[in-house]
A and B are shown apart, each in its own frame.
Chain A
Amino acid sequence: MEVLKEKVEEEEEAEREEAAERGEKMPRPLETRREEPPMTQEMLRDLEKKLSEIEIVILEQPLIVTKDSIDISKLPLSYRSNTLKEEHLLQVADNFARQYSHLCPDRVPLFLHPLNECQVPKFVSTTIRPTLMPYPELYNWDNCAQFVSDFLSMVPLPDPLQPPSHLYSSTTVLKHQKGNCFDFSTLLCSMLVGAGYDAYCVNGYGSQDLCQMDLTRDVCPLTMKHKEVVQQEEKVPPKKYAIKPPRDLSSRFEQEQKMKKQQEIKGEKEKQWKEEEQRLLELEKAKIDPLHGLRVHAWVLVLSGKREVPESFFIDPLTARSYSTQDDHFLGIESLWNHKNYWVNMQDCWNGCKDLVFDLGDPVRWEYLLLGTDKPQLAVAEEEDDGMNDEDMENLGKEDEDKSFDMPPSWVEQIEISPEAFETRCPNGKKVIQYKRAKLEKWAPYLNSDGLVCRLTTYEDLECTETLEIKEWYQHREDMLELKHINKNTGLNIDYFKPGHPQALRVHSYKSMQPEMDRVMEFYETARVDGLIKREETPKTMTEYYQGRSDFLSYRHVDFGDRVKKLALNSAESNPRPMVKITERFSRNPAKPADEDVAERVFLIPEERIQLRYHCRDDHITASKREFLRRTEVDSKGNKIIMTPDMCISFEVEPMEHTKKLLYQYEAMMKLKNEEKLSKHQAWESELEVDPWECGQVGGGMGGGCLNCALPYFPIQVLEILKLREEEEEAHTLTISIYDTKRNEKSKEYREAMERVMHEEHLRQVEAQLDYLAPFLAQLPPGEKLTRWQAARVKDECLSDFKQRLIDKANLIQARFEKETQELQKKQQWYQENQVTLTPEDEDWYLSYCSQAMFRIRILEQRLNRHKELAPLKYLALEEKLHKDPRLVDFLKVYV
């Protein structure tokens, strides 16, 4: 110890010298972090004092994790005491602090060895316990930070102007799920270092928002819209024979004038807009913080180099946000440390952290506590070599000795997070974050019975009173609902689904769940058999979009008329709205010529009119059209008019002979009539799919036939989506992965059953290994070693006892056998005597008795024989066993 102290003193002196040199280079260390240079030190201190007094009144929250709540006795020894090495380190640190306070009297004392939960001083670096978490999700820094910020709830520092007096171990912090910014940073730093990052805990000064975890002036990252990347179209160089555009005959002057005018209007608008923005910004600006630049904060610094980090950055562990090292929120750094070393910042922080250089190997900028870190020393030391060789030689020798001293291992226990805790994440599985005009609520999965995991409420005003929109994220829903978006202004609800909804629903936007209202449903492509990808509904229309159908239908639009009032008699039955117009569009069928491939067909139902428009030929600009008027009339003679030329008006791009014929037209019309029926039916079916009420009634009311179109009533296999949705909303069952061993009831049962079986098996085995020597050994005086004579006696006793047992068993079987035979003989005698007088029942009874008795006798005989066979073997086996018994083997060997 004596030697050590001397060494320390030597070091102290050397440091003092070094610092003196440096002192010239660094005239003003860190005392002012304000931009008011004229203020003197005294004034500043006074102000600080006053302000801190004021502030303390406001701060009401005491440290919640009190000493009482921690059961010290259960903590491991390393928590309660220091090892020799740690003691040494503490001395070194004290020495360092002394030198430091001597050299830089203006600076606040260093945060070196706060007390831990057992009131033992521990060096901060040893509090960091690098740990790689077993969860792959926690391999990257962003997820780690998010986890830490979710998992712990923030407790403000007891004194916002000073580092805390205690720094608890990460295990305690994790257990209580509470901590201040230092606890957050220590935990995050442990995890990041464990994951391979070059991470450091930083003790410094932050803005008020940062220190109080106040995000109300930040825009929620979830509300930010991704900037759409505008893809610039590559300009194709004009081809050699590209035609020249027609000459432009409009006046250039006029165009210019117009442009000018437009620009003026635009400029004015922009100006207004800017002013407005300015005004809003003013409103939003925070009040000036009186303690600006004095609030102590701790965060994490990640240096570039490891894990492909291209640039150094800060992570605020409270909010899990990353900041650039130039960010305005960070106002200064006192010191930083990782699990290996401790560095004091010797750079001026008048401009926040903007000018700081994070080259920890530079001893001018960063004063290290321990030598022998992995940071390379800068070349500066070598340059100095020339001038002061002698001193350096001494220094070098000292350093060499010092190098042997490195950071002792962490006193903190292994950081462990149970899978349950990891999944629950936030304390009690719930967390609320207030952002600017937004509130974010998070829940652990399976906590809410409807699968809600996250809700983002956006507000119109800063006070968060007028709700603008709500976004709710769900997980593990059986109906695959992923996101629910409710816009309060328009009343529009939009549900987004993951693939796998029974109806292949992708997006469902609606205002109300009532049928016949505005709604849009989008479906996953290729997931539906009918190729439907989108269906839009308004009170009077329904539009459907299809894709990839074999009949090339791509679009169907149905206009509905008003409901016709029906008689009371029919009111119980369905009353579908009459269809007024059905428009169907088809994509081009390459197998047909364009003139025969219908592009659009319109059924005007009340007018009994059908309009067809064909596809346009490749080299044409007009398309053929045809219009059928269906009037089944009776002519003057009473004959039915089948077809007249005026019933079909057609325009043909290239008139052909056969299409002029009435027969052709008639056949076309007949076909169309059928197709109209089909279309109507399909539209009606689609409506049913949407419309729960009508369908529910149709099932019973229609009774197998569709009145509307006189087609056989198809069994509607698809349950109506809305009804389904409503049911889903009510039931909101959650799916449980088969890999989720904790929640999956079935697998749990199975596992438990397996365990039970295992247990029983085990019991049986134990039974089998019953100690055959125990009763005999028990007779002997306990605690004494066996003598040879005793051993022999025990063995003999055991064997004779077993023999006796075998004989007893044989006798028992023999006795039973004899008893049975005797009884049988008695019965037989009795039968012989009374044979004549017996009733048939008695005889039957006798016979059955006989057969049973014979069976019993036979079995007994067999058992006896078997026993006779096995008994000697068993006896021998026992003898063998006894010979090998560890308790007797020593004594019995001699006999053998």
Chain B
Amino acid sequence: RLYDSVEPRVMDEDMLKLAVGEQGPQEEAGQLARQEGILFKDVVSLRLDFQNILRIDSLWQFENLRKLQLDNNIIEKIEGLEHLVHLVWLDLSFNNIEAIEGLDTLVNLEDLSLFNNRIAKIDSLDALVKLQVLSLGNNQIGNMMNIIYLRRFKDLRSLSLSGNPIAESEDYKMFIYAYLPDLVYLDFRRIDDHMKELAESKHQYSIDELKHRESLIQARLDDELARQVELEKHKAAFVEHLNGSFLFDSMYTEDVEGNKLAYLPGVGELLQGYKDKFVIICLNIFEYGLKQQEKRKLELDTFNECVKEAIQENQEQGKHRIAEFEEKHLLSLNAIREESDLTNIEVRIVEYGEDITELFNVLMTLEMQLVEQLEETINMFERNIMDLVALFIENVQSLMAQCRDLENHHHEKLLEISINTLEKILKGELDEDLPDDLRALFVDKDTIVNAVGASHDIHLLKIDNREDELVTRTNSWCTHLVDMIHKDEIMRNRRRVKEINQYIDHIQNELDNLECGDVID
């Protein structure tokens, strides 16, 4: 073999530098490049062929690489490419790769060549959603089912699989035409439309079945996604899982005694009535929550819009000022340059300096004005949103109190039934059969009261927990929002001030340079 006779090489800094230098800009630009040196992260395209590379390494610096050629080496494993996320073109042909792997981060890849390797199975390409050209010729792919895997690449237009065991099968072309209808080139030949039709009719049944299955999966995925979105929306309103009996059910999941007591005569109906009422209140909370969420959103939108408008207007003013200044600035700079009289120059320079200061003052005044205005608005918004949230919490709490009342009521009823039952048992008057574990509770009054009390406590705890969760989350959202707004505003202010300063420094510098030049002259 070829690589036996030649020493395998390691991808090191020198090798990369050499390649970059060779393939970089030429002539005058090259001269400059040599002067300055080229940073690896600026390189867009790199060719490393016929280098006897055994292992891909040291490529992490090439962040912006678009095209990478590693063909005709002795690479055995695809690795070390995780950081090259901008890669569009990857050539790994004529190597010794045995499995496709390590490509999960290359989401922008459009052209992948793995020609003449030892690959037996097509997989691990799921991340390559933009794939257009895939070259897998001269490999060891033997199973036709690998083709079906390629159906997920909607942009795939060119595929080459010649030289694989599957290419020898009689049905090879027809199968691919039928299963990859969007393909335009197979083995670098254009697919005849007529042939495509033939293939389609040939494999119609199996394809229809496949399509049906695919569409089912797709529908399920869509469903799941829709549900997820819905839940997110509810979460944003802090009332998730309140549009049903979820809370009620959760109250009874951990409640052993309660479940046991449900078998008491009369408790079943009681429980049903209780549940219905409870769920109605939950639904009330849910709807109220959604409504309030809408309100808050509207409030926030109005606020954002107003702030945006204010900032926009302020920016326009600033831009206008700067444009005005720049017009004048150009004239005065030219005037200074052309002026021959030294005293005149000085006068003009002083004038110009004053202009700069004035511009600075104007811009800063504008900014300060905006800051004041925004502060006022933000405070107003803060007050309003706080009020909204407080109202929301208050109402939810009152609804939750209703829940608690229901629970208390239920508890009393249950207790009554329990004690009655106990009395009956004690008197031996009870007719119905009770489950054994339930009967075990009816030993004496304390036990049964404790059991019922425990159930009640658990229920109350659940309700309290749900309420607490809602209140804390709402409050934290509110504080977070307000904090964010304040922080954003501060950031904006700093950025603007920095920008103004930078600009003023720049023109001041220009003026100073001019002065220096004049002095030298």
State the A residues within 8 Å of B (CB).
Answer: 239-244, 246, 616, 619-622, 642-643, 651, 653, 658, 661-663, 666-667, 670
Beta-carbon nearest neighbor of B42 in chain A: A658
Instruction: Find out whether the CB atom of B306 lies under 8 angstroms from the CB atom of A653.
Output: no
Chain A residues in 8 Å Cβ range of B306: 239-243
Q: How far is the CA of A334 from the CA of B310 in the complex (A)?
A: 72
Inter-chain CA distance A243–B363, complex, in Å, is: 19
Q: How far is the CB of B489 from chain A (nearest CB, A)?
A: 12
C-beta contact mask, B292-313 vs A, less than 8 Å → 1, else 0?
A: 0000000000110111011100
6 residue pairs from A and B, CB less than 8 Å apart: A619-B492, A620-B315, A621-B363, A622-B502, A658-B39, A667-B25
Q: Is the CB–CB distance between B36 and A662 below 8 Å? A: yes
Give the residue of A243, A616, A620, A643 whose beta carbon is less than 8 angstroms from that of B310: A243
B35 part of interface (Cβ distance < 8 Å): yes
Asked if A241 and B32 make an inter-chain contact with CB atoms under 8 angstroms apart, the answer reads no
The answer to whether B307 and A241 have CB atoms under 8 Å apart is: yes
Q: Report whether A663 and B318 are in contact in the complex, using a CB–CB cutoff of 8 Å.
A: no
Q: Which residues of A contact B506 (CB under 8 A)?
A: 651
B29 A241 Cβ-Cβ under 8 A? no
Given A243-B373, A651-B506 in contact, is the A621-B25 Cβ separation under 8 Å? no
Given the complex of chains A and B, what is the CA–CA distance between A670 and B29 in angstroms?
10
Cα–Cα distance between A611 and B289 once the two chains are bound (Å): 58
Q: How far, in angstroms, from A666 to B377 measured CA to CA in the complex?
A: 49
B32 and A243 contacting across the interface, CB-CB below 8 Å: no
A244 touches B373 (CB 8 A): yes
Bound complex: CA A616 to CA B503 (Å): 13
Q: How far is the CA of A662 from the CA of B34 in the complex (A)?
A: 11
Docked CA distance A622–B319 (Å):
7
Write out the residue numbers on chain B whose beta carbons fall within 8 Å of the beta carbon of A240.
302-303, 306
- B469 near A: Cβ within 8 Å? no
Min Cβ gap A217→B in Å is: 52
A642 and B28 contact, Cβ closer than 8 Å, known pairs A243-B376, A619-B315: yes
A661 contact from B36, B369, B374, B500, Cβ within 8 A: B36
Known: A243-B370, A244-B376. 18 other contacts (CB 8 A): A241-B303, A241-B305, A243-B306, A619-B311, A619-B315, A621-B319, A621-B322, A622-B502, A642-B28, A651-B503, A658-B39, A658-B42, A663-B25, A663-B33, A663-B36, A666-B28, A666-B29, A670-B29
| Contact residues in A for B363 (Cβ distance below 8 Å) | 621
A642 touches B31 (CB 8 A): yes
Q: How far is the CB of B28 from chain A (nearest CB, A)?
A: 5
Contact A242 B499 (CB under 8 A): no
B302 touches A620 (CB 8 A): no
Q: CB < 8 Å: which of A243, A621, A642, A662 contacts B499? A: A621
Beta-carbon contact of B315 and A241 below 8 Å: no
B213: interface (CB < 8 Å): no
> How distant is the Cα of A240 from the Cα of B384 in the complex, in angstroms?
11
- Closest-by-CB residue of B relative to A660 is B36
A307 to B370, CA, bound (A): 63
Q: Are A621 and B36 in contact (CB under 8 A)?
A: no
Nearest chain B CB to A660's CB is how many angstroms away? 10
Asked if A619 and B28 make an inter-chain contact with CB atoms under 8 angstroms apart, the answer reads no
CB of B89 closer than 8 Å to a CB of A: no
B318 close to A621 (CB less than 8 A): yes
Asked whether B207 is an interface residue with its Cβ less than 8 Å from the other chain, the reply is: no
Interface size for B (C-beta < 8 A) is 40
Q: A246-B373, A621-B499 are in contact. Are A662 and B307 (CB under 8 A)?
A: no
Q: How far is the CA of A663 from the CA of B25 in the complex (A)?
A: 9
Q: Is B381 an interface residue (CB 8 A)?
A: yes
Distance of A662 Cα from B377 Cα, bound (Å): 47
Contact yes or no, B381 A241, CB < 8 A? yes
Q: Mark B13-26, 1 if CB is under 8 A from A, else 0.
A: 00000000000010
Partner of B502, one of A241, A244, A246, A653: A653
Contact of B29 among A621, A658, A667 (CB under 8 A): A667
* Cβ–Cβ < 8 Å partners of B310 in chain A: 242-243
Shortest distance between the CB of B454 and any CB in chain A (Å): 51
**B227, CB-defined interface residue at 8 Å:** no
9 closest residue pairs by CB, A with B:
A621-B318, A241-B306, A243-B373, A243-B310, A622-B503, A651-B506, A241-B303, A642-B28, A663-B32
A670 / chain B contacts, CB cutoff of 8 Å: 29
User: 1/0 contact trace for B25-67 toward A, CB 8 Å?
Assistant: 1001101110110110010000000000000000000000000
Distance A667 CA – B28 CA, assembled complex (angstroms): 10
Chain A residue at minimum C-beta to C-beta distance from B321: A621
**How far apart sit A652 and B310, CA to CA, in the bound complex (Å)?**
26
Complex CA–CA separation, A662 to B302 (angstroms): 48
Chain B residues, CB < 8 A from A642: 28, 31-32
Instruction: Point out the residues of chain A lying under 8 angstroms from B503, CB to CB.
Output: 622, 651
Q: How far is the CB of B488 from chain A (nearest CB, A)?
A: 11
| Cα-based distance from A691 to B322 in the complex (angstroms) | 39
Q: Which of A239, A243, A619, A653 contacts B302 (CB 8 A)?
A: A239
**B496: interface (CB < 8 Å):** yes
**Known contacts A246-B373, A662-B35, A667-B29: A621-B307 contact under CB 8 Å:** no
Is B377 a contact partner of A622 (Cβ separation < 8 A)? no
How far, in angstroms, from A240 to B377 measured CA to CA in the complex?
9
Q: Decide yes or no: A239 and B28 within 8 Å by CB, A621-B318, A621-B322 being known contacts.
A: no
Interface string of B389-402 (1 = CB under 8 A from A): 00000000000000
A602 to chain B minimum Cβ distance, whole angstroms, is: 10
Q: Do B322 and A619 touch (CB < 8 A)?
A: no
Q: Quote the shortest CB–CB distance from A263 to chain B (angstroms).
A: 31
User: A662: which B residues are within 8 A, CB to CB?
Assistant: 32, 35-36
Contacts of A620 in B (CB 8 A): 315, 499
B425 at the interface (CB under 8 A from A): no
* Cα separation A663 to B33 with both chains bound (whole Å): 6
In the bound complex, how far is the Cα of B370 from the Cα of A816, in angstroms? Answer: 121
Distance, CA A653 to CA B502, complexed state (A): 8
B328 contacts chain A at the CB level, 8 A cutoff: no
Using a CB-CB cutoff of 8 Å, which residues 345-373 of chain B contact chain A?
Answer: 363, 369-370, 373
Contact B35 A242, beta carbon cutoff 8 Å: no
Q: Which of B31, B322, B373 contacts A622 (CB 8 A)?
A: B322
Q: How far is the CB of A67 from chain B (nearest CB, A)?
A: 82
Bound-complex Cα distance A621 to B495 (A):
11
Chain A residue at smallest Cβ distance from B307:
A241
Whole-angstrom CA separation of A190 from B502 in the bound complex = 84
Q: With the chains together, A128 CA to B206 CA distance in Å?
A: 86
Residues on B with beta carbons closer than 8 Å to the beta carbon of A621: 315, 318-319, 322, 363, 496, 499-500
